[in-house]
Structure 1
Amino acid sequence: MRLHRNLCFAVIDGLTLIFNEGKYADKVIQQLLKRDKRWGARDRAFVAETTYDIVRWKRLYAEIADVKEPFDRDNLWRMFAVWATLKGIKLPDWKYFEGTPLRKIKGRFDELSKVRKFKESIPDWMDEIGRKELGDAVWTKEIAALNEQADVILRVNTLKTTKEKLQTELFDLDIETEFLNNYPSALKLKERANVFSTEAFKKGHFEVQDASSQLVAEFLNVKPGMRVVDACAGAGGKTLHIAALMENKGQIIALDIYQNKLNELKRRAKRNGAHNIENRVIDSTKVIKKLYDKADRVLIDAPCSGLGVLRRNPDAKWKLQPDFIEKIKNTQQDILQQYSRMVKVGGQMVYATCSVLPSENQKQVDKFLTSDTGKSFIFIKDKKVLAHKSGFDGFYMALLERKN
């Protein structure tokens, strides 16, 4: 591979914004890709994937390059040189790469790869919490899986098409996909492609949604005609899946504390042809209280550490702080206590997170079930999804039923 100066400059500019100004990697990359209209698919892929790669391995590359934060541009070029050398890419004779110690880089890599926190490029506290909660052997496998690039998985919108029809439609555009066993609505791309520019996406024939995330709506046991509350709907990935499973019959009430996320859900619902969704912003406790004892099903896709989705959000490794995890556990329990009251007698509730930590998952459910509110619920089943076993994001979901 030959390095092109303008593409490398784009990567360095992106890393400056992500590492030094705390910008989100996905937003930065979206902007970078608009920089030059002459860039082809390969150029855009280089900018996006190289930026993500260096973000993912920040600690390892900084250690090898012997640079410390905040990184100036010279430091970032040194990290870039480490990335290129380890990828086997020949460095051009640019001033930024003068005196790059190629043999030393490879030697340091071999040395640091013996220590998990460097090998997997994670903060000390994250390595400690993962080891403590999952055990050494499982955490070693799990964090390695969470550092792999995520596959692109589509969820077929069955309100508008079928898996077979969508597969054919994409095949005609040279986008090859495959079915996944035990994921009824999923298509996996064989190679990465820009699916958002396709007519199929614009017509609402699919959403991009990880396979593990697709399990959550299925777990909720919804049926056409029910009244369902998605209590932490966000921009509505799971809400739209619920709408498809309900065949547009019945009522879905999508709740969130952020109006802008519900606005995005409204836009997506229109594209998906999902007509049974009503959005309500949680601007006071009255919104929840009005729904007490009214829902056949409640989904609590709780805010969490997001440790299960590091593959698609590698910059979260550097933004997340240990005190946030402690705070979010309190929030999770508060939400369970309040929102569970929307489930009517005989109704069911799913508590879900995109975390792999038991303290955010089954321990929260156990704590809830022994509380005064939780005593009126029974535990039906749960599912722990680990990335190293599934090949997809880490997730947790528990199904509870309100007793008579």
Structure 2
Amino acid sequence: MAEKGKKRKQDQARLAAVRVLYQVLEEGAFSNESAAYHLSGPGLDARDRAFASALIFGSLANLARIDYDLAQVSSRPPDKLDPWVRTILRMGIWRLFYSYQVTTAAACDESVHLARFLVGEKVTGFVNGIMRRLARQRPVLEGPGSQAIEAGLSPQLFDLLSAWYGPEAALALGEWSLQTPASVTIRANACRMEAFEKWSLSQEARNLSLEKRPWPPMSYSLVPSGNDLAATQAYRQGLYSLQSRAAMLVGHLSAVQPQDRNLDLCAAPGGKSGHLAELTGCQGSILACDLSPQRLALIDAMTERLGLDCIKTLVQDATKGQAEWEAAFDLVLCDVPCSGLGLLQKRPEIRWRVNPESIDRLLAIQQAILEKAGSYVAAAGHLLYTTCTINPRENEEQVEAFLASEAGRDFELCDLTGELETLLKGNLPPPMSSRLPACLCLLPHRDGTDGFFIARMKRRG
């Protein structure tokens, strides 16, 4: 990176945003992790963070159309451009066509100054030419795949979604995921409800527009407005956790009981383990496992913050068996690694990272985890299989294959319909899978939350 030749102080919010985009687009970073790092600096206030977040997630969500526009006016293919120039232009094009708070001249000028600061004077003419050409006239979107591109989907992802749910649903899902959510869902700590309710009357809660959500229990919403919700007084005191309504349903549909022996095989960062602990009043025991000490450190920090002393952690590869765990747990949760296609709104980079080959690699891992998990369930205990994807191959087909296998022969599928009717309180029809109707399958555009799959199986005995 050549930070030379700068003639004016750079806007820190734009600089942070372009650095996040570079890490995500050029280095394979995750948008949420990179944004959390770069937007946490003391030089950014709440308004700066809100602005930078809009730049980051707007550019990533609309990348398919942005790259189409860039390819139409550039004399060089976008993939042949200097990586920093490509990133600056992508953010600049989003400012040009999707931001309603900037003039055409300002969008062009910002891009040129960023290019001068990060790359050098030699590229400013090229960047200025691209931006001015687009400012004069945006290319007409036409040809094969144009509908998918307008909905923020790559042609390949559109084809996958269409094969699973039909073209109309694929476009609706893409369009829904382009929207910026107005609020963030939190889960109140059921073990500290008196303190949470007292906080709900505080100025901090009012500033964040705290509201109760109609479903599921203990769910509320906050409007961050650029504030870090993990830096509030209530969060530091363990009064709430950041968790989507879809993810909360995992705990509510787990059938967990006080005094149960629970195993969470893919636990980090710990939200679901924490919820299980809260639902039982920390009366049972939970063994939370993941691949590395670094990931377990996230769980340890969570349990300390929430005051949950019933969770223990252990480094464990969930695809590897543990003979001493055979039939030892009343509940085994496997929230397996997945393609994440239910999180397109939160993690827009998934749109171009998921392909049939990457999914195939996950299938074997999921199958191995599910088979090992089944062996750890005690008689009359429950096995919970969950993902944050809407891919039937990773969801219904995995469950069906397990139940038909030697490893799953002692299990029966539980019908979650009745429990969901109680949890949803008439606010939403039970979102059951059309392929495996006993299971939950949330679709973002239909149900207004993350895409999610939950299957619960009971061991006979």
User: TM-score, normalised on structure 2?
Assistant: 0.80
Which of 168, 172, 183 is matched with 1:141 structurally?
Answer: 172
CA distance, structure 1, for counterparts of residue 167 and residue 94 of structure 2: 28
2:434 matches 1:400: no
Q: 2:209·2:223 contact (CA, 8 Å) conserved in 1?
A: yes
Shift of 1:45: 1.4
Q: Does 1:390 align with 2:396?
A: no
Cα distance, 1:116 vs. partner? 2.9
- Give how far 1:241 is off: 0.4
Q: What is the one-letter code of the residue matched to 2:337?
A: P
Distance 2:286 2:254 in 1: 13
Q: Is the CA contact 1:178–1:187 (under 8 Å) kept in the aligned structure 2?
A: yes
Deviation at 1:171, TM superposition (A): 5.0
Name the stretch that deviates more: 81-90 or 372-381. Answer: 81-90
Match for residue 7 of structure 1 among 3, 13, 37: 13
Select 2:161's aligned residue among 103, 123, 130: 130
Read off the aligned partner of 2:14 and give its amino acid letter: C
Q: Please name the residue that 1:78 is paired with.
A: 89
Is the counterpart of residue 262 in structure 1 residue 296 in structure 2?
Answer: yes
Contact 1:378–1:400 under 8 Å retained in 2: yes
- Residues 333 and 364 in structure 1, CA contact (< 8 A), matched pair in contact too: yes
TM-score by length of 1: 0.91
Q: Give the Cα separation in 1 of the matches to 2:51 and 2:232.
A: 21
Aligned to 2:258: 224
* Partners of 2:306 and 2:205 in 1: CA distance: 22
Q: CA deviation at 1:149?
A: 2.8
State, as a whole percentage, how many aligned pairs show the same letter. 24
Provide closer, same or farther for how the CA distance between residues 8 and 368 of structure 1 changes in structure 2, counting only shifts above 3 A. same
Q: Does 1:363 align with 2:397?
A: yes
Structure-2 residue corresponding to 1:44: 49
Alignment of 1:195-274 (within 5 A): 195-274=229-308
User: What displacement does 1:231 show?
Assistant: 1.6
State the aligned residue count.
Answer: 398
What residue is the counterpart of 1:309 in the other structure? 343
Name structure 1 gaps, 5 residues minimum: none
Q: 2:406 aligns with which of 358, 366, 372?
A: 372
Using the alignment, how far apart are the partners of 2:379 and 2:34 within structure 1?
A: 47
CA distance in 2, matches of 1:267, 1:222: 23
**Matching residue's letter, 1:144:** E
Structure 1: how far apart are the matches of 2:283 and 2:291?
26
Match of 2:186 in 1: 154
Question: How many Å separate the matches in 1 of 2:447 and 2:370?
Answer: 27
Shift of 1:367: 1.0
Q: Please state whether the residue corresponding to 1:59 is helix, strand or coil.
A: helix
Aligned to 2:36, which of 30, 43, 46?
A: 30
Describe the shift of the 1:112–1:270 C-alpha distance in structure 2 as closer, same or farther (beyond 3 A): farther
Letter paired with 1:121: G
User: Is the CA contact (8 Å cut-off) linking 1:178 and 1:190 kept in structure 2?
Assistant: no
Equivalent residues in 2 for 1:295-374 (5 A)?
Answer: 295-374=329-408
Q: Name the CA shift for 1:6/1:182 in 2 (closer, same or farther; >3 Å).
A: closer
What is the distance in 2 between the residues matched to 1:260 and 1:74?
A: 34
Q: Distance in 1 between matches of 2:190 and 2:30?
A: 32
Please tell me the residue identity of whatever aligns with 2:49.
Answer: R
Give unpaired runs (5+ residues) of structure 2.
1-9, 113-126, 416-438
The corresponding residue for 1:21 is 27
Give the C-alpha shift of residue 343 in structure 1.
0.9
- Asked if the contact 1:113–1:119 (Cα under 8 Å) also holds between the matched residues in 2, the reply is no
8 A Cα contact 2:192 2:239, kept in partner: yes
CA shift at 1:186, angstroms?
A: 0.8
Aligned to 2:3: none
Tell me the amino acid that sits aligned with residue 93 of structure 2.
V
Q: CA deviation at 1:284?
A: 8.8
Once the two structures are superposed, residues 262-295 of structure 1 have per-residue CA deviations (whole angstroms, 9 ceiling, x without a partner) of 1210111011010111112215988632111111
Write the distance in 1 (CA, Å) between the matches of 2:229 and 2:322.
37
How does 1:91-106 map onto structure 2 within 5 Å?
A: 91-92=105-106, 94=109, 95=112, 96-97=127-128, 99-105=132-138
Alpha-carbon spacing, 1:363–1:317, altered in 2? closer, same or farther (3 Å): same
With over 3 angstroms needed to count, the CA separation of the structure-2 counterparts of 1:245 and 1:70, relative to structure 1, is farther
**Which is further off, 118-127 or 273-282?**
118-127
Bigger Cα displacement from structure 2, 363-372 vs 154-163: 154-163
C-alpha contact 2:389 2:452 (8 A) present in aligned 1 = yes
| C-alpha contact 1:171 1:177 (8 A) present in aligned 2 | no
